């Protein structure tokens, strides 16, 4: 009986050892499988983006020709008018700005085909027209301080926006959810100490209702001292003093006579009076009158 018990005990021990070995092997396989799953999970956490919908510079990648101006471009331009900045784009060079407008209005004109054929948008939506009887927009009604960028599409826009965009689209993109207080002020003066310009923009905005809404207030003040043609010698009287011989500046046939003995030997017909050398000469009253006439006309 004792031998039988020993045999049973040995057999049981062998079976138990085999079971333990099998369990250890299964645990090892389970641990290896878990490690493999963790490695796969770590690899799956790496996201590789291969799409083309990432926001990029529209001047570089676009399905249609697009020219873009950023907020920095407006600040560095020194212009006080949105239309004057956008007008630097070649396709908009014929636009109506405050500089060439009799009423101070500003309207964009793509390719010179007319303001009513240029679609002007604000945040991708049509803006209120500024001229009676047309759909042309007065760009001066768009808050300058709120403009973040401007995108100009010069081709292929009528298929998307309709016949109003036959020459293209100009889209003004405004700042979203602006919060805080901002003041911008610029000033300038010409080298002739005239044509003073001054602008001030005040911007205030805040969110409300747990950032579900936003309110913005924009105020702008502009002062522009105009320079007329008569303020510059080269443009006075439409430039007649530089393109045409001004008779008051030159010797005319009736200016010579017995009372102009010095001028008779100094000048010829058509010579500029102020170019003469009067050093050591005593001018007669008639000669001095001719000098005064030329001086007052210069």
* Dihedral pair phi/psi, residue 203, rounded to 5°: -130, 130
- Assess if residue 272 is contained within a domain: yes
Percent of the chain at pLDDT > 90 equals 6
Looking at residue 2, what is its pLDDT? Answer: 45
- Assess if residue 236 is contained within a domain: no
- In this structure, the answer to whether residues 87 and 103 fall within a common structural domain is yes
Write the pLDDT tens digit of every residue in 217-237. Answer: 999 888 888 777 777 777 766
Alpha carbon distance, N-terminus to C-terminus of the chain: 145
- Assess if residue 81 is contained within a domain: yes
- In this structure, the answer to whether residues 195 and 211 fall within a common structural domain is yes
- In this structure, the answer to whether residues 59 and 100 fall within a common structural domain is yes
- In this structure, the answer to whether residues 101 and 140 fall within a common structural domain is yes
- In this structure, the answer to whether residues 205 and 121 fall within a common structural domain is no
Q: Which CATH number is 151's domain given?
A: 2.170.130.10
Domain boundary among 166, 196, 227: 227
- In this structure, the answer to whether residues 288 and 223 fall within a common structural domain is no
Looking at residue 73, what is its pLDDT? Answer: 85
- In this structure, the answer to whether residues 85 and 123 fall within a common structural domain is yes
Phi-psi region of 267 (alpha: psi -120 to 50; beta: other; left: phi over 0): beta
Burial of 235 (0-12, 13-18, 19+ CB in 10 A): middle
- Assess if residue 131 is contained within a domain: yes
Give the structural domain span for 23.
1-48
pTM: 0.55
- In this structure, the answer to whether residues 17 and 94 fall within a common structural domain is no
- In this structure, the answer to whether residues 143 and 221 fall within a common structural domain is no
Helices (H), 146-185: 158-161
- Mean pLDDT, the chain, rounded, equals 76
- Assess if residue 239 is contained within a domain: no
Say whether pLDDT at 188 is over 70. yes
Say whether pLDDT at 185 is over 80. yes
- In this structure, the answer to whether residues 146 and 104 fall within a common structural domain is yes
Looking at residue 4, what is its pLDDT? Answer: 44
- Give the torsion through C-alpha atoms of 136, 137, 140, 144, to 10 deg: -140
- Assess if residue 238 is contained within a domain: no
Token pair for 4: 């039988």
Number of compact structural domains in the chain:
4
């Amino acid at each position: 009986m004792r031998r039988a018990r020993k045999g049973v005990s040995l057999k049981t021990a062998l079976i138990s050892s085999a079971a333990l070995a099998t369990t250890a092997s299964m645990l090892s396989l389970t641990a290896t499988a878990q490690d493999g799953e963790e490695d796969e999970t770590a690899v799956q956490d790496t996201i590789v983006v291969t799409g083309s919908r990432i926001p990029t510079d529209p001047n570089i990648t676009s399905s249609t020709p697009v020219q873009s101006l950023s907020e920095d471009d407006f600040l560095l331009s020194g212009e006080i008018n949105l239309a004057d900045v956008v007008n630097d784009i070649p396709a908009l060079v014929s636009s109506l700005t405050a500089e060439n407008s009799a009423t101070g209005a500003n309207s964009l004109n793509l390719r010179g085909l007319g303001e009513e054929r240029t679609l002007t948008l604000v945040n991708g939506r049509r803006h209120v027209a500024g001229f009676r009887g047309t759909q042309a927009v007065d760009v001066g009604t768009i808050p300058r301080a709120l403009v973040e960028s401007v995108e100009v599409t010069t081709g292929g826009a009528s298929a998307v926006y309709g016949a109003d965009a036959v020459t293209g689209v100009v889209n003004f993109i405004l700042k979203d959810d602006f919060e805080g207080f901002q003041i911008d002020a610029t000033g300038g003066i010409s080298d002739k100490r005239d044509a003073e310009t001054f602008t001030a923009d005040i911007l205030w905005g805040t969110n409300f209702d747990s950032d579900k809404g936003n309110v913005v207030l924009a105020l702008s003040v502009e002062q522009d001292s105009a320079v007329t043609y008569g303020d510059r010698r080269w443009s006075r009287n439409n430039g007649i003093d530089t393109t045409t011989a001004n008779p008051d500046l030159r010797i005319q046939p009736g200016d010579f006579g017995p009372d102009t003995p010095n001028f008779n030997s100094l000048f010829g017909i058509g010579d500029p009076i102020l170019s003469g050398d009067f050093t050591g000469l005593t001018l007669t009253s008639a000669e001095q009158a001719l000098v005064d006439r030329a001086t007052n006309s210069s």
